[in-house]
Amino acid sequence: MATVLAFDVYGTLIDTHGVVAELEERLAGRGHGERAAEFSRRWRDKQLEYSFRRGLMGAYVPFDRCTREALEFTDRALQTGLGDGDRDHLMGVYGRLPAFPEAAEALARFAEAGITCVAFSNGTREAVEGLLERAGIRERFEAVVSVDEVKRFKPDPAVYAHLRQRLEVAPGDTWLISSNPFDVIGARHAGLHAAWVRRSPEAPFDPWGIEPDMTVADLDALAERLT
């Protein structure tokens, strides 16, 4: 098989902060509408923290449970007073988050160039399939590879090994595309190539001495480099 691009989903293809408008509406009724952006950031950070902690504990649960528990924690931490109905609604919104504006066109360019693309996510296959379908980009991926298949979370080396085994491709022919530095470092540590999608020019990269093979501002810039 030729080179494969394995795209992280949450934060790379799909905008996890696409929930802010719904958060603002829900929080406004409780006098906290101005905290929607902060709530979104803290929810996302805690979601990832919970996956890391569960990975270290060997206590795997599906990623949507980490997301739900992180939502409840953030509500408690910010004392925003969300009810069960609010949390159910927001979890539904999380299942239909939008793709980043340039994603569809960039993926079309990879397809035209004959480059194989797969989605590679901490989310379950069912969740990711639905998310990509609703975002209108599922058809651009040859496969969806989920960590749920090995009951580990990124950046465990086992998940990157699983990706290669599923695709039957050598490490040097596999590129991880992610906006998350921990994912890029995990892939590089596992012997894969990796491109960091640095969506914010202020975003720092972890000073671990493990660098991405490529850094780009968005998926359009990635397509310019690889097609």
pLDDT at 3: 84
Catalytic site residue from 8, 75, 148, 218 = 8
Q: Is 20 helix (H, G, I), strand (E, B) or coil?
A: helix
Does the active-site annotation cover 183? no
pLDDT (0 to 100) of residue 169: 85
Pick the CATH number of 16-94 from 3.30.1380.10, 3.40.50.970, 1.10.150.240, 2.60.40.420: 1.10.150.240
Q: What is the pLDDT of residue 157?
A: 97
pLDDT along the chain (227 residues), means of 10: 87 96 93 95 98 98 98 97 95 96 97 96 98 97 98 98 91 92 97 96 97 98 95
Choosing among 1.10.150.20, 3.40.50.1000, 3.30.2140.20, 3.30.930.10, the CATH entry for 4-14+98-226 is 3.40.50.1000
DSSP per residue over the chain, as a string? ---EEEE--BTTTB-GGGGHHHHHHHHHTTT-GGGHHHHHHHHHHHHHHHHHHHHHHT----HHHHHHHHHHHHHHHHT----HHHHHHHHHHHTTPPBPTTHHHHHHHHHHTT-EEEEEESS-HHHHHHHHHHHT-GGG-SEEEEGGGTT--TT-HHHHHHHHHHHT--GGGEEEEES-HHHHHHHHHTT-EEEEE--STT-----SS---SEEESSHHHHHHHH-
Two structure tokens written together for 15: 């905008």
Q: Check residue 40 and give its pLDDT.
A: 97
**Could you tell me the residue ranges of all domains in the chain?**
4-14+98-226, 16-94
- pLDDT tens for each residue of 138-194: 999 999 999 999 999 999 999 999 999 999 888 788 999 999 999 999 999 999 999
pTM of the full structure: 0.95
Q: What is the predicted pLDDT for the residue at 1?
A: 42
